[in-house]
Amino acid sequence: MNPLPTATLSAHTEAVRAGWSDSAGTRVHDALVAAARVLSERGLNATVDSVPGPDGVSAFCLDVPIGGPSYAMLQVCDPELANLGVFLTYDRDAGGQPVDSHRLPVFDMRRDRLLTYAVMPVVNGALNPLDPTGRGRSLCVGVFHGRSTVGDLFLQPWTATRLFRGFRPQGQLAAIWADFEAPFAEAISRVSARLVGRRDIHLLPRTGRRSARWIPVPGPPGSRITDLSDAYDAGVALARDYLHRHQAAGRSNVDTG
């Protein structure tokens, strides 16, 4: 019997923590390592790294191959909101560079199932230990770049419904999906959201206005995704608002307890 794969940790992860206190950086790093180990137990070669991010602040990354050239990444890059993450799907080329296109990856039924049943439940709970209120809540903005095969569209009513039913029990304050350009998949997701009947589901499709921000990814120096619209900005702003209100409610409970 082959041993389970273990999380691969970059040799320089410990050193690259610009903008983070030692304790905060260690807590984020340890939370992502714990998630990587769970994914490794599921047969996925998850890696944890830290890379230079926007505004001179290091970004901590949990990177997961999901088949072929495609990857899924959970990233934390805000020292003031360590339980705020960005979840990105993207492809790499043969040289390991990220492909800077919102039209990739191409999701078939296998990748969709892998994300829904193996990756997303772990991602949704990964940052819960970093909730400063102690209530074990977090928020990950889903940047679901890519497009679906025809076969995958038939699967999406089930996968979308499962994701919408699962985000609250897994610790998410809301479901925020941003910067996607998939009209058929969007229509399916909106129907699934109505059927589930949960509040706090926000679908923010791609706009024609470019974002001024970018998302760093592990790889050769300068590896980043820039093909983002301002729907990404809107998703992050909405997530920040949720978390600030959550923290304020936590402080209020402490004051009146």
Highest mean pLDDT among 50-54, 70-74, 184-188: 70-74
Q: Is the dihedral of CA 241, 215, 231, 116 positive or negative?
A: negative
- The single-letter code of the amino acid at 172 is Q
- The pLDDT confidence band at residue 252, using thresholds 50, 70 and 90, is low
| Res 14 pLDDT > 80 | no
Q: In this structure, is residue 85 part of a structural domain?
A: yes
Of 166, 225, 226, 176, the C-alpha closest to 204 is 176
CA atoms within 13 A on the CB side of 3: 4
Predicted confidence (pLDDT) per residue in 95-152, tens digit: 889 999 999 999 999 999 999 999 999 999 999 999 999 999 999 999 999 999 999 9
Q: In this structure, is residue 222 part of a structural domain?
A: yes
Q: In this structure, is residue 8 part of a structural domain?
A: no
| Res 255 pLDDT > 80 | no
- The pLDDT confidence band at residue 13, using thresholds 50, 70 and 90, is very low
Of 137, 19, 145, 11, the C-alpha closest to 73 is 145
Predicted confidence (pLDDT) per residue in 145-202, tens digit: 999 999 999 999 999 999 999 999 999 999 999 999 988 888 999 999 998 887 899 9
Least confident interval from 167-171, 193-197, 208-212, 215-219: 193-197
CA distance 143 to 100: 13
- What is the CA 69 to chain-centroid distance, rounded? 18
For residue 109, which phi and psi values (nearest 5 degrees)? -65, -35
Q: In this structure, is residue 147 part of a structural domain?
A: yes
Structural domain including 159 reads: 59-256
pLDDT at 128: 98
pLDDT at 12: 42
pLDDT at 16: 60
pTM: 0.91
Q: In this structure, is residue 208 part of a structural domain?
A: yes
**Taking each helix axis from N to C terminus, what angle separates 150-166 and 183-196, rounded to the nearest 10 degrees?**
30
Q: Is 207 exposed, middle or buried (0-12, 13-18, 19+ CB in 10 A)?
A: middle
- The pLDDT confidence band at residue 69, using thresholds 50, 70 and 90, is very high
Q: In this structure, is residue 225 part of a structural domain?
A: yes
| Res 220 pLDDT > 80 | yes
- The pLDDT confidence band at residue 54, using thresholds 50, 70 and 90, is confident
Q: In this structure, is residue 211 part of a structural domain?
A: yes
Average pLDDT over residues 69-90: 97
Mean pLDDT of the chain: 91
pLDDT at 11: 39
The encoded tokens of residue 83 equal 């339980």
What is the number of structural domains in the chain? 1
Q: In this structure, is residue 10 part of a structural domain?
A: no
